[in-house]
Structure 1
Amino acid sequence: MKKIMLAIAVAASLVGCKTSPTGRTQIALYSAKQMDQMGAASFEQLKSEQKINGDKRTNSYVKCIADALIAQLPTKYASQQWEVVVFEDDSANAFALPGGKIGVHTGIMKVAENQHQLAAVMGHEVGHVIAEHANERVSQNNLLQIGLQAGQSILESNDIAHKNAIMQGLGLGAQFGIALPFSRTHESEADIIGLDLMAKAGFDPTGSVALWQNMSKLSEQRQPEFMSTHPAPGNRIKQLQASMTSAEQLAAKARSQGLMPNCQR
């Protein structure tokens, strides 16, 4: 087992490291150009497979929020040509992809009751992009596969008993010990990045807390947090509340500069 874990550690040491907007060290195997190409290809596929909402008022509302958020992004991202699409989908979801792509499901607008709450959702999703979480996630998955394959080779070459059981346990360990915690870290990081982003754009940051209060009502039963890719709503709310003072200061500064979005549904 020590040799297996050493193989995974060696694989991890071979990749490039970056730093996230919150100062966290990240792994990154792909260039920004490669990630943009992946994001654009995925978005085109989604547009061909899912129904796109054609209501002008709905699209104008979503684009109004997106434009306000994009204007506050670092120049690298603000200068991109962003594409915003509203999909006819009842799920309470939205997403953003590398390459300047934002997708919003109509179902999320039943949960996000106003522009501030929807800005919290969209800011969170854009936060994933500027923190380069997609690169980190794809890189992490590749490294896990390399490590597990190396472990398999070591077990087979040494004719170790119960190797199948060991590999299954190692796979579960990678899932619960690495992949899911990484996902929860990404979600928490995107929450904070999105909170600051919406505040800089002039939206009310308390809308983020109201949003997650609404989201928590959608389902009374959730799997344990350690088995989930997302933090529990209660934990997200606590983290957002802990960062609210600085976010409200950013919002006050934005208002003093005349940034007061008025996006109407």
Structure 2
Amino acid sequence: MQTMSKCRLPGRLAILLTLACALGAAQAQAREPEAAGEGVQVGKMSSLRNLVPQEQLEASAAQQYTAMKQQAQQQNALMPDSHPQVRRLRAIADKLVPHAVRWNPHAAEWKWEINLIASKDVNAFCMPGGKIAFYTGLLDGLQLTDDEAAIVMGHEIAHALREHGRERAAKSGLANAGAKLAGIGLAAILGIDANLTTAATGLGANLTMLKFSRDDESEADVVGLDIAARAGYDPRAGVALWQKMGKSSQNAPPQWLSSHPAGQNRIVEMRKQLPAVMPLYARTKGVPQKSLPPYRSNVKDIAPIS
């Protein structure tokens, strides 16, 4: 690898090459284990995320999550621990979370939490560090079965496990700091300059409102299916879920769909992944895959899914 002194060129070109050197070094050091073997296969996580301190981003997420809960409680919108839907979601999470570590070993240290917010919004999210929230508009509006709720939760957990928020924070920080790069030295970049870090961890937006790229959404779909199947939830419920989504969003897509790939495309991709995840589901259920009955949703006009 070139030494940093060989990257010296005048003006903005030098800055861009300096940043490229830094990213190249980060990528060379990024050797996190993949979830190899059975199940779905995805590539390595983006090395861009290494520009943002993990602990600082997770601390910011925890603060925002606490503030969200406090605001919801003041509005009598935070569902109590005794609420049946809260207990239901936490039971699903208890089955999913043990399968998170194979995708990100750091997840074993997270203080996982899940809450339900009374709102008509069709939305759910999992912030960095395992802070999960569902909205009643998603559960009740789509009449989600346990399997379908697990698909949603697995998808959101996958965003956190694959550190999509950290990657987005890095990109946001780089974009916000772009005009200042001419005055930032190499040492400051490698040390994560305070201005860059502040911009990155602030995201320029609330962490609960992150809009991921379509590639991130597709990856979260795939990883979420794997997690759900290992936890004993039928991955074919993902197909039914997006059929429901399509029916509910004919006029205007709900917030949860705002930056997601088209529903039909997601259904096609999920069907492609079924051969990889159905054996996991069958093994968890303790039955031969051939003996599994079709998945049946709770909506009459959604056909059984084999």
TM-score above 0.5, yes or no? yes
* Preserved contact between residue 209 and residue 240 of structure 1 (Cα < 8 Å): yes
Partner of 2:89: 62
Deviations 1:207-230 (A, max 9, x none): 11111111111222569xxxx632
Deviations 1:64-85 (A, max 9, x none): 1111101212153245331111
The alpha-carbon deviation at position 45 of structure 1 amounts to: 1.3
RMSD: 2.8
1:14 pairs with 2:22: yes
The alpha-carbon deviation at position 113 of structure 1 amounts to: 2.2
1:132 alignment partner, one of 139, 163, 166:
163
Question: Unmatched 5+ residue regions in structure 2?
Answer: 1-10, 35-41, 183-209, 288-306
Question: Unmatched 5+ residue regions in structure 1?
Answer: 152-179, 258-265
Q: Secondary structure at the match of 2:134?
A: strand
Show structure 1 runs of 4+ deviating over 4 A: 3-10, 18-21, 148-151
2:263 alignment partner, one of 230, 233, 255:
233
2:282 alignment partner, one of 241, 248, 252:
252
1:217 pairs with 2:240: no
TM-score (norm 2): 0.65
Which amino acid in the other structure matches residue 214 of structure 1?
K
1:38 pairs with 2:68: no
Which amino acid in the other structure matches residue 218 of structure 2?
S
What number of residue pairs does the alignment pair up? 223
* Preserved contact between residue 235 and residue 277 of structure 2 (Cα < 8 Å): yes
Distance of 2:155 and 2:170 partners within structure 1: 21
Q: How does 1:1-265 map to 2 (within 5 A)?
A: 10-11=18-19, 13-15=21-23, 16-17=26-27, 18=30, 22-26=42-46, 27-28=48-49, 29-50=51-72, 51-54=77-80, 56-74=83-101, 75-109=105-139, 110-147=141-178, 183-221=213-251, 229-256=259-286
Q: Secondary structure at the match of 1:71?
A: helix
* Preserved contact between residue 112 and residue 118 of structure 1 (Cα < 8 Å): no
The alpha-carbon deviation at position 150 of structure 1 amounts to: 5.5
Which amino acid in the other structure matches residue 78 of structure 2?
I
TM-score (norm 1): 0.75
Partner of 1:263: none
* Preserved contact between residue 158 and residue 223 of structure 2 (Cα < 8 Å): yes
25-34 or 3-12, which moves further after superposition? 3-12
Identity %: 31
* Preserved contact between residue 96 and residue 227 of structure 2 (Cα < 8 Å): yes
The higher-RCO structure (CA 8 Å, 6+ apart) is: 1
